[in-house]
Amino acid sequence: MVKVDGEEAKEEELSWSYVCTVTGRTPHAAMQWESIAGSLAGGNSPLWSTDPWPGSLTRNQVTRLVAILGAHTVTPQRCYFAMWTGADLRSSDRAAPTVQLGIREMVLLSGPIEASTASSDPDHFQSPSLWWPEDHAWCVATDVDLDSTYVGGSRECVEALTTDDHIEAMPISAGDSVTRDSDRLNAAEGP
């Protein structure tokens, strides 16, 4: 999201906890955008100009994840990336091997962890749908239709994410729902 500051929009990423403060909602691990933003979702807010982009982290968020996750693998130079074929891919990436994951066809790429910050379009960043190091120390998953990202890793890795001042992350359980209607704590109505 981009924060609106005065007459000139100043690009600043806002946390969902901040949105909860504005709308009187409660931040928690299963919160969903429509439930916390209420009637301010869909570009109706005087405080932010865009809703979260489904299916992608921002480049800043991925860069921060790289800094944290790189310390929790012994193979940061050998990582794998799965990109949905429906996303804007570089022409060279379209020739890469593919795999079918559920209903989605994914292009499989490899490279150093920093490759997760590369994008084919300088005006619109698209993060990988899945990425993980060769040693399987962690895995990052962002479904193209959802606006949350999930990271599985060791207890130490998860703690590093949830205590970082620049990433909004909360621990979840394996049975927690990730669907748009999984936020049972906040009403989906407007503020």
64 and 91 assigned to the same domain = yes
Domain of 73, in residue numbers: 59-146
- Regions of the chain short of the pLDDT cut 50: 1-6, 190-191
For residue 94, the model assigns a pLDDT of 73
For residue 45, the model assigns a pLDDT of 82
46 and 63 assigned to the same domain = no
- Whether the CB-CB separation of 161 and 169 falls below 8 Å is answered with yes
For residue 1, the model assigns a pLDDT of 46
Nearest alpha-carbon partner for 151 in 130, 135, 166: 130
For residue 161, the model assigns a pLDDT of 97
Nearest alpha-carbon partner for 96 in 84, 112, 114: 84
Span 128-160, pLDDT tens digits: 999 999 999 999 999 998 888 999 999 999 999
For residue 47, the model assigns a pLDDT of 82
71 and 134 assigned to the same domain = yes
For residue 3, the model assigns a pLDDT of 46
For residue 98, the model assigns a pLDDT of 92
Question: Could you give the CA distance from residue 34 to residue 29 in angstroms, rounded to a whole number?
Answer: 14
Alpha helices in the chain (DSSP H): 16-23, 33-37, 59-69, 91-94, 155-162
**Quick one: CA dihedral 131, 173, 64, 120, positive or negative?**
positive
- In this structure, is residue 163 part of a structural domain? no
- In this structure, is residue 160 part of a structural domain? no
